[in-house]
C-alpha cells in the first residue's frame, strides 16, 4: 500500500552550483584540480591539463592556477588580447607569461598543428559557473549556545 502524504523531493545530484567566490576558485590551484576565472566566469581546466600533460605550453596556465586571468582577455571580443608586433608589423596575441596551449607561434612553423578545433578559452565545455563579483562575510551567532559561524 502506498504511503500517503509523502512527496518525493528533488534530486540534488543533478543540480549544479551557479556562482563561486574567488576564495573557492583559489582552492583549486593544483595540476590535478585546476580552476581559473576570467571575464566573470569560472572554468575547470583540469581536463586540458590532463590532455597536454608534460607539455611546456602548460606552464603559463599552471602558474595562474586558482587565479583570475581576465587581464589576458579583451572584454569586447572575449578573445586573448592582441597587439601589433613592432618587428614584423603583424597582429599577435599578447601573452605576458609566455605562449600557452592553442596560441600560435610567433613565426610560421611546420610542427605546429592548428587542427584542434575551438581554442580552450572559447569553448564552453570547461565552464562550471559564474564568479561572484562581490562577496560579504556574514556572522551568525546562536544566542542560546554562543556558537559563532561566519559565512561568505
pTM score of the predicted model: 0.78
Predicted confidence pLDDT, tens digits, the chain (152 residues): 555 656 666 665 666 678 999 999 999 999 999 999 999 999 999 999 999 999 999 999 999 999 999 999 999 999 999 999 888 888 899 998 899 999 888 877 888 888 888 899 998 899 999 999 888 888 999 999 989 998 87
| Predicted local confidence at residue 137, as pLDDT | 87
Tell the burial category of 101 from Cβ atoms under 10 Å away from its Cβ (0-12, 13-18, 19+).
Answer: buried
Query: Where along the chain do its domains lie?
Result: 19-151
d(CA 66, CA 30): 8
DSSP H/E element including 89: none
| Predicted local confidence at residue 2, as pLDDT | 56
| Predicted local confidence at residue 27, as pLDDT | 95
Amino acid at each position: 500500500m502506498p504511503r500517503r502524504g509523502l512527496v518525493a523531493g528533488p534530486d540534488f545530484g543533478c543540480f549544479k552550483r551557479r556562482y563561486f567566490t574567488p576564495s573557492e576558485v583559489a582552492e583549486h590551484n593544483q595540476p590535478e584540480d585546476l580552476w581559473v576565472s576570467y571575464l566573470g566566469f569560472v572554468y575547470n581546466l583540469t581536463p586540458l591539463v590532463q590532455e597536454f600533460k608534460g607539455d611546456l605550453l602548460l606552464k603559463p596556465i599552471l602558474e595562474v592556477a586558482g587565479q583570475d586571468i581576465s587581464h589576458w582577455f579583451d572584454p569586447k571580443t572575449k578573445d586573448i588580447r592582441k597587439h601589433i608586433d613592432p618587428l614584423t608589423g603583424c597582429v599577435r596575441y599578447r601573452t605576458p607569461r609566455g605562449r600557452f596551449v592553442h596560441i600560435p607561434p610567433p613565426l610560421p612553423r611546420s610542427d605546429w598543428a592548428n587542427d584542434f578545433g575551438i581554442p580552450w578559452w572559447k569553448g564552453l565545455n570547461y565552464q562550471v559557473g559564474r564568479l561572484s563579483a562581490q562577496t560579504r562575510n556574514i556572522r551568525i551567532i546562536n544566542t542560546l549556545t554562543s556558537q559563532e559561524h561566519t559565512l561568505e
